[in-house]
Amino acid sequence: MELVIILIVIFALVFDFINGFHDTANAIATSVSTRALSPRKAIILAAIMNFVGALTFTGVAQTITSGIADPFELENGLTVILGALFAAIAWNLITWYFGIPSSSSHAIIGAITGAVIVAAGLQAVHFGGFLSILEGLLLSPIIAFVVGYLLYAIIKVLFKNANLAKTNKRFRRVQILTAAVQSYAHGTNDAQKSMGIITMALIVGGLHDTTDVPFWVQLSCATAMALGTSVGGWRIIKTVGGKIMKIRPVNGVAADLTGAAVIFGATLIHLPVSTTHVISSAILGVGSSHRVKGVNWGVAKRMVITWVITLPISAILGGLFCFVLNLF
């Protein structure tokens, strides 16, 4: 049992690391695209702020630990968690390779749900908790789109008579701050998913008796996320930062503020969200407010498709991995 728990800790940190480089684009794509920051400086900033954000909150981690299934009652719990991690890591690597901005959150939540169903049956799933998590995952991109649209509409009115060159220069400076805020918000939500998984494994293994996250777990996950961020997911940065629309500094500021607000709001109410889809939807909202024809709706369509399919595919993968592991 102890060996399995060690494996879960290792793979949870691997998932966190992959999540870091997979989702680096969320925080820095717009600032790199507008040249507010060089890629190197943007990644360093994102890594530091991700680390700080990950050490600040644990509410989302507690939701992951007990929101989908009761870790104190879960049959074959360690197999469930290990199978879910394998499934989520596999899906993350596939989407990273093809440069698709998919959701690590959808992947791990779908994978846990699928693994729980295979190992312990439908009755083991907390459908109330699962549905509240699902609502957060599905509604947050819509909220980000609407907020991004409205925020940029307000900015257009406020700066309608401003000198374009001077305005761009000022917003480029502001974007350094908004990139930092975006990275911090990212850390407060995304790193907590691995914290929740490890805490869940500790409970199932009888090594922990509450859903509170041990500090060593929090520190380990924060470090893994920051290291992953420092590697950088350039394939996805290219998609988010340039293929959705041509981003100017003012667009970038509006998108960053929107994404950070929605992600941080979710963190405060202990809901995991897809930071990938939130920031991408924020860019789409800002782009639509700026000029609808300037948005590459083909890329947007691809993103929506992955948004829809990630949860069921990861659930199937989680179930398959769990079934295979149960054979040994």
Each residue's pLDDT, cut to its tens digit, for the chain (328 residues) gives 789 999 999 999 999 998 887 766 667 777 877 788 887 888 888 889 999 999 999 999 999 999 999 999 988 899 999 999 999 999 988 887 776 667 888 899 999 999 999 999 999 999 999 999 999 998 999 999 999 999 999 998 988 877 766 777 888 889 999 999 999 999 999 889 999 999 999 999 999 999 999 999 999 999 999 998 887 655 555 555 455 556 788 888 999 999 999 999 999 999 999 888 898 899 899 989 988 877 777 777 877 887 788 999 999 999 999 999 988 7
Torsion-angle region of 224 (φ positive above 0: left; ψ -120 to 50: alpha; else: beta): alpha
Answer yes or no: are the C-beta atoms of 208 and 79 closer than 8 Å: no
Quote the tokens at residue 293.
Answer: 């024809």
Answer yes or no: are the C-beta atoms of 186 and 53 closer than 8 Å: yes
First to last CA, the chain: 13
Q: How far is CA 203 from the centre of its chain?
A: 24
Q: What does pTM read for this prediction?
A: 0.89
Q: At what angle do helices 24-33 and 215-231 cross, to 10 degrees?
A: 40
Tokens 């988010």 label which residue? 240
Q: How far is CA 321 from the centre of its chain?
A: 22
Spatial distance between the Cα atoms of 272 and 210, rounded to a whole number of angstroms = 20
Tokens 């960053």 label which residue? 256
Closest CA to 191 of 29, 73, 23, 71: 23
The torsion of the CA quartet 140, 146, 152, 156, rounded to 10 degrees, works out to: -170
Quote the tokens at residue 318.
Answer: 């989680």
Spatial distance between the Cα atoms of 250 and 155, rounded to a whole number of angstroms = 8
